[in-house]
Structure formats: structure tokens, C-alpha cells
Amino acid sequence: MSDTKNKYLIEGIDKLKELVDAINICLFCTSLKTHDGATTRPMSAIKVCDQGNVWFFNQKDSDKNKEIQNDPKVQLFFAHPGKGSYVVVNGDASIITDRTKIEELWTPAAEIWFDKGVDDPNISLIKVTPSSAYFWDTDGNRMINLIKMAASYVTGTNLVSGTEGEIIV
């Protein structure tokens, strides 16, 4: 693999980390082939690791885990309208019950869902390995962009700027 490809891959993972860290909550969609959104739930991402995988805590006996076991294809929709940041991740999910990995990723906020703490026997992890990802990121904050939109309307020139693109992971 060339240095350019490695750099691009690293920058893609870094961009995914940056967006997921800033937004955190996503709509996590399962059963993509058989449901029309009824299996979509908000979930908080724990982190994006150096390999580009997105990690979540979940209960072992949850419907979401059962749905992933039936069909691992998932979509994650992250949105932060206040910052004008959005990302969609398509990938394959897997259920991880490795205690070492659970302890490594444990955060105090997880105790909200697992009242027995890190040793709760019903803890599992969901690892989403992205197959593709795409982002939209508007420069500036919401108020500034509203002013820019109004000025764009008056002047007939688009003054709102931002970036978008595929994230290679």
C-alpha cells in the first residue's frame, strides 16, 4: 500500500472519529431489508477505534442484538444540525461479549444502562465495521449560516460554505 493511500485512509478514520465524537448520538438502523424504519433506535457511540470501527454498549438480550444476529447490515445516521455536521455510515455489525474489551471501553456514563456496573452479566458490545461512509460539514455555526443564507438570497451568490465527501475506512 502506498504512503498516499495510507495517509488517505488515516485521514478518513480521523474524520470519522472527529464527527462521531462531536455528534455522539445516532439513529441506529437494523433489519434494513425487512423493515421500514421500525427497528431504528437512537444510540450513543462509545468511540471510533483506530481501525475505523464504531463501538456501542448494548444489552445482550436486546431486540437490537437479535436483529443483528439475523442480518448484520446496519446504517448509522449521525446529525448535529446546530453545527451543520452530518454523517451516514453503512456497515456490518457484530455482537462482542469479550470482558476485556468491555472493560477497555467502559465509561461511567454506561452505568445509566447497566446498574451492576462493568460486571453486569447482560452487557454486550456492538462493533460496526463500516463498508462506506459519507459526511456533510458546514463551515461556521448555525446563526452565522442563517445570516449567510439571508445574504445569499439578497445578493444571489451562495455564501454558505462547507465540505462533503466519502470517508474511506
Give which of 22, 11, 29, 13 is closest to 137, Cα–Cα. Answer: 22
Model pTM score? 0.82
Fold of 3-166: Pnp Oxidase; Chain A (2.30.110)
Three-class DSSP category at 55: strand
33-37, 91-95, 97-101, 119-123, range with the lowest pLDDT = 33-37
pLDDT tens-digit series, residues 110-127 = 988 898 999 999 999 999
pLDDT digits (tens, 9 = 90+) for 42-57: 999 999 999 999 999 9
pLDDT score of 141 = 52
- Residue 140 confidence (pLDDT): 55
| Run of H or E residues at 89 | strand 85-96
